[in-house]
Amino acid sequence: QVQLVESGGGLVQAGASLRLSCAASGRAFSSYAMGWFRQAPGKEREFVAAINWSGANTDYSDSVKGRFTISRDNAKNTVYLQMNSLKPEDTAVYYCAADNRIPYSDYGSDTEYEYDYWGQGTQVTVSS
């Protein structure tokens, strides 16, 4: 079992930055690909970013590419999402997720159903 706990959300103005953290339990964290997803009110949950087990390979949705950066610290069992130049349309609940289907996979998935474990989410609100 893996437990994921997100933190770092909040209310900010457009153009500001936030860094989300996701702390994971379990010794196998370093073998998992990790992802960030978000869900805005009235919308389906959508992919934001993914990172493979080593941090060497990352992937982003077009809407956040160039503004958000996903990273991880396996020694701390933590994955991060640095969010810069925030826009009101980034307002959502942000979830981190762990994919342990293929340990040490070279890539993280952008597909929600391929993730096995999910955190409870953290709210990000960007005002205009």
Strands (DSSP E) contained in 10-121 are 10-13, 18-24, 33-39, 46-51, 58-60, 68-73, 78-83, 92-99, 117-118
Q: What is the pLDDT of residue 60?
A: 98
Q: Which of 94, 87, 92, 115 is nearest to 20 (CA)?
A: 94
R_g over Cα of the chain:
13
120, 118, 124: which is closest to 8 by C-alpha?
A: 124
Query: One-letter amino acid identity for 59?
Result: D
> How much is the pLDDT for 23?
97
Coil, helix or strand at residue 75 = helix
pLDDT of the chain along its 128 residues, tens only?
889 999 999 999 999 999 999 999 977 899 999 999 999 999 999 999 999 999 999 999 999 999 999 999 999 999 999 999 999 999 999 999 999 888 999 999 999 999 999 999 999 999 99
Query: In the prediction, which pLDDT does 1 show?
Result: 81
